[in-house]
Amino acid sequence: MPAYADLKLCNRMSYVVEVAIGIDDKAATATRGWFRIDPATCRVVAQGTLTADRILLNARALGVYGSSPIPQSGGDTLCVAPNNFVIAAARQCRSGQTPAPFTQINPTRTDDGNLVAYLAEDSEYDDEQARLAGIQRLLVIAGHDAAPIDGVDGPKTQAALAAFLKSRGLTADVVQSPKFFTTMIDAVQSPSSTGLTWCNDTPHKVMAAVATDDGKAVISRGWYRIDPGKCLHPDVIGQPKQIFSFAEAVDGENRTLKFKERPLNWGGTTQLCTRESKFEINEQGDCGTRGLAVTGFAAVDMSSGGKTLRFAMP
């Protein structure tokens, strides 16, 4: 059996991710997680001599990004738990554990004898670009136009960053701090005086969708995951004439929760198209014939510049 030294994972994506690893040995398959890794940083996820036939990985983006943009496909299905966990026998899920797809990884041995594996996107960022693209992505979610998210610095990104820092009362030196991603994520998870904020006051996970009408087309987008007790800003670009919102509480299997026989959701009378998985739909007619669902959205009054919608138990 191959013996390994420390295993390090490096994030070259524009997302803050949480990863779980699976150690597949002849006798058993164990999983452990979640390890949070910011863009352009590395983290040791297994220390010391590791004997394993295979090393497996599941990565997910934080809830602030909407549905996980990381392709969740893998040859193995292993158990994970919602918070920090170590599961010794991860092929049979017990109560409180859910099955998740894991992909085999083949780490590279570095000069110091340790092992390293990289998480990458199609864009193939280097560390510097991944960090900047990660900042651009969170600026957009926080309502500052830093698009396109490309990891290339320029006046538009700098203006968006300056506006973000000013709106939060932060100084420019915080950008270089190792905790800057934590600062940004805390900011996008708290109510804001501008734009739309969703806050989940229920004990359940809430999945939400937003739609914008710019006078020419109505575009609906979802799903955004809002964990219990958290707030989230959907990334609404430009200056739409009207904004619509829909949200529903779901269980661990993403099935709609019912409360007193009725679905626990927050919507309205404007009928727009959605689909079960991640979507962006810019043509709102004939949802049914196009294989889409019809969902009732509520119009959001944005006349005061900012609006916080709170989802609470009835």
Q: For residues 196 and 309, state if they share a domain.
A: yes
* Burial zone of 36 (CB within 10 Å; 0-12 exposed, 13-18 middle, 19+ buried): middle
Asked if the model's pLDDT at residue 1 lies above 50, the reply is no
What pLDDT, on a 0 to 100 scale, did the predictor assign at position 237? 66
Q: For residues 183 and 196, state if they share a domain.
A: no
What pLDDT, on a 0 to 100 scale, did the predictor assign at position 227? 85
Asked if the model's pLDDT at residue 4 lies above 60, the reply is no
Q: For residues 72 and 175, state if they share a domain.
A: no
What sign results for the dihedral spanned by CA atoms 17, 164, 239, 199? positive
82 vs 27: which has the higher pLDDT: 82
Q: For residues 220 and 314, state if they share a domain.
A: yes
pTM of the complete model: 0.69
Q: For residues 184 and 203, state if they share a domain.
A: no
Q: For residues 144 and 74, state if they share a domain.
A: no
Q: Which of 170, 188, 206 is the last residue of a domain?
A: 188
Q: For residues 246 and 312, state if they share a domain.
A: yes
Virtual torsion, Cα 131, 195, 220, 152, nearest 10 deg: -20
Q: For residues 107 and 138, state if they share a domain.
A: no
Quick: pLDDT tens for 139-196: 988 878 888 899 999 999 999 999 989 888 889 999 999 999 999 998 887 766 667 8
Q: For residues 248 and 298, state if they share a domain.
A: yes
Quick: pLDDT tens for 53-80: 899 999 999 878 876 667 667 789 999 9
Q: For residues 184 and 198, state if they share a domain.
A: no
Q: Give the chain's domain count.
A: 3
Asked if the model's pLDDT at residue 132 lies above 50, the reply is yes
Q: Which of 188, 212, 232 is the last residue of a domain?
A: 188
What tokens appear for 304 in the block? 């005061």
Domain of residue 113, CATH code: 2.60.40
Q: For residues 228 and 288, state if they share a domain.
A: yes
Domain encompassing residue 202: 191-314
What is the H or E stretch that residue 134 is in? helix 127-141
| Residue in the structure block whose two tokens are 């109510």 | 191
| Spatial contact of 20 and 120, defined as CB atoms under 8 Å apart | no
Q: For residues 179 and 197, state if they share a domain.
A: no
Q: Which of 188, 204, 234 is the last residue of a domain?
A: 188
Asked if the model's pLDDT at residue 23 lies above 80, the reply is yes
How distant, in Å, are the alpha carbons of 67, 243, 245, 292, 302 from that of 271? 22, 13, 11, 12, 19
- Poorest-confidence range of 27-41, 99-113, 134-148, 227-241? 227-241
